[in-house]
């Protein structure tokens, strides 16, 4: 009997051990899913796909309460229920986790750690602090109850989506009454950067946040513009920083870079810009006949000369290639000369005739080499033809002699 009791006890223990654990039910999702009010029901549709939900966080992580309680008492403030945060509360609420490096490292060994200090430098945060309820906060850009990580193409802050996300607010309708331009998206989408990013999907092209910052978004100041453009256009910015042009623009209170190139609507720079004649970019400030205009004209002439000699070299090499000649070494010289031309274009930002002249001379030397190679290839081509004709003549004479010998033998 005792043995039977022991056996029954053991069987019961085994059954209990084998029983599946009861699934944890989130009462917030369960209840809100069944509500009629779309405002209260909507979060349950997107939240299962939210990065926070994927990482195991529940509604209670932001809203508090007890998700294990199946009754409305789950939303008892005594159980920590906070409800929906106000607009002003959103950034500090997100920061409570995202600014906590130790907490974020639990999910990512190299986490992005949000900085409230940086956020507070943004125009958005400053206006919010003054009570402006229309400015952006975290959820304005990242979304809510369906937030995707920025690397996800579905995220509104994925690189190619950023300009349209910014334009959701930065448009004439939403910005009515605010002293801020609203043509940025229209200009940007037709700019060299916008076309590259939005039309060609080139994620190396800058979006709004690359120049303005994201969490600390603000218009770059006059002094900062070169720094902003220089993050990508480093060589040009470095040369410009040491140029007399910078000092001149600073004295006039004009920003670097954008004075000549524009900002949101920046276009691919063309060589036609380089002219002090009417229509050229330099003509915007320099009068015809001025010292600056004369200096520019001299550089322009040399620049066009190099372009012309590159074009000549290219034509000669092309002709040689069409005629079946090997032109790789000449093409190598031409490529280097073309690189020098690109170097001249960058070097123009030094506004130093000597410096520009040195690069122009280097390019001209390489271009001469390429031209020389092209000419040599064509000369060689002519020589080959001549050699072929001569060898054919010799061969025909030999054939004639052999045929004559055959005839002689036959006779």
Contact set with another protein (CB under 8 A):
324-326, 328-329, 384-385, 387-388, 391-392, 395-396, 398-399, 402-403, 405-406, 409
CB nearer to another protein: pick between 11 and 399: 399
CB nearer to another protein: pick between 204 and 408: 408
DSSP string across 294-314: HHHHHHHHHHHHHHHHHHHHH
CB nearer to another protein: pick between 199 and 326: 326
Give least dist CB 342 to another protein, A.
23
Give least dist CB 405 to another protein, A.
6
Give least dist CB 363 to another protein, A.
23
CB nearer to another protein: pick between 129 and 395: 395
Burial class (CB in 10 A: 0-12, 13-18, 19+), 96: middle
Burial class (CB in 10 A: 0-12, 13-18, 19+), 357: middle
Give least dist CB 386 to another protein, A.
9
Q: Give the separation between CA 113 and CA 98, rounded to whole angstroms.
A: 6
Give least dist CB 403 to another protein, A.
6
What is the CA angle 201-202-205, rounded to 5?
Answer: 125
How would you label 282-301 residue by residue, b for 16+ Cβ within 10 Å and e otherwise? beebbeeeeebbebbeebbe
* DSSP alpha helix (H) spans, 191-261: 192-194, 208-212, 225-230, 234-241, 244-252, 258-261
Give least dist CB 204 to another protein, A.
21
CA-to-CA dists, residue 28 to 35, 44, 71, 144, 266, angstroms: 11, 9, 9, 16, 49
Tokens of 219: 């218009």
Give least dist CB 121 to another protein, A.
45
CB nearer to another protein: pick between 133 and 398: 398
Give least dist CB 324 to another protein, A.
4
CB nearer to another protein: pick between 35 and 388: 388
CB nearer to another protein: pick between 248 and 329: 329
As a whole number of Å, the end-to-end CA separation of the chain is: 136
Give the dihedral sign, CA 63/67/70/71. Answer: negative
Tokens of 321: 């290639």
Among 283, 312, 309, which residue's Cα sits nearest to residue 296? 283
CB nearer to another protein: pick between 36 and 410: 410
CB nearer to another protein: pick between 232 and 319: 319
Give least dist CB 366 to another protein, A.
18
Q: Give the separation between CA 324 and CA 385, rounded to whole angstroms.
A: 12
Q: Give the separation between CA 257 and CA 226, rounded to whole angstroms.
A: 6
């Amino acid at each position: 009997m005792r043995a039977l009791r022991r056996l029954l006890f053991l069987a019961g223990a085994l059954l209990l051990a084998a029983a599946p654990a009861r699934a944890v039910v989130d009462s917030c999702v369960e209840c809100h899913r069944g509500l009629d009010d779309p405002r209260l029901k909507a979060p349950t549709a997107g939240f299962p796909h939210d990065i926070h939900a994927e990482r195991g966080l529940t509604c209670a992580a932001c809203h508090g309460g007890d998700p294990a309680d199946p009754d409305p008492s789950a939303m008892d403030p005594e159980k920590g229920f906070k409800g929906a945060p106000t607009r002003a509360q959103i950034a500090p609420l997100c920061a409570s986790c995202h600014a906590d490096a130790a907490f974020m490292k639990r999910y990512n060994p190299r986490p992005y750690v949000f900085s409230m200090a940086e956020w507070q430098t943004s125009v958005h945060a400053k206006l919010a602090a003054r009570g402006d309820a229309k400015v952006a906060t975290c959820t304005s850009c990242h979304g809510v109850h369906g937030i995707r990580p920025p690397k996800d193409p579905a995220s509104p802050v994925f690189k190619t989506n950023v300009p349209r996300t910014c334009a959701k607010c930065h448009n004439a309708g939403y910005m009515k009454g605010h002293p801020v331009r609203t043509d940025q998206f229209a200009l940007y989408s037709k700019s060299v950067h916008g076309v590259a990013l939005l039309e060609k999907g080139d994620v190396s092209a800058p979006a709004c946040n690359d120049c303005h910052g994201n969490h600390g978004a603000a218009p770059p100041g006059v002094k900062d513009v070169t720094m902003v453009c220089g993050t990508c256009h480093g060589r040009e910015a470095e040369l410009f920083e040491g140029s007399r042009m910078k000092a001149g623009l600073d004295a006039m209170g004009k920003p670097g870079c954008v004075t000549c190139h524009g900002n949101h609507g920046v276009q691919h720079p063309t060589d036609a810009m380089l002219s002090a004649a009417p229509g050229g970019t330099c003509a915007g400030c320099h009068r015809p006949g001025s010292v600056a205009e004369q200096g520019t004209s001299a550089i322009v002439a040399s620049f066009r000369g190099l372009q012309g000699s590159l074009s000549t070299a290219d034509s000669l090499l092309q002709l040689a290639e069409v005629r079946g000649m090997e032109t790789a070494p000449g093409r190598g010289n031409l490529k280097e000369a073309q690189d020098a031309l690109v170097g001249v274009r960058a070097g123009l930002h030094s506004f130093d005739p000597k410096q520009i002249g040195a690069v122009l001379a280097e390019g001209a030397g390489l271009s001469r080499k390429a031209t020389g190679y092209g000419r040599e290839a064509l000369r060689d081509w002519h020589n080959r033809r001549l050699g072929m004709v001569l060898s054919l003549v010799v061969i025909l004479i030999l054939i004639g002699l052999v045929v004559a010998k055959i005839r002689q033998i036959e006779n």
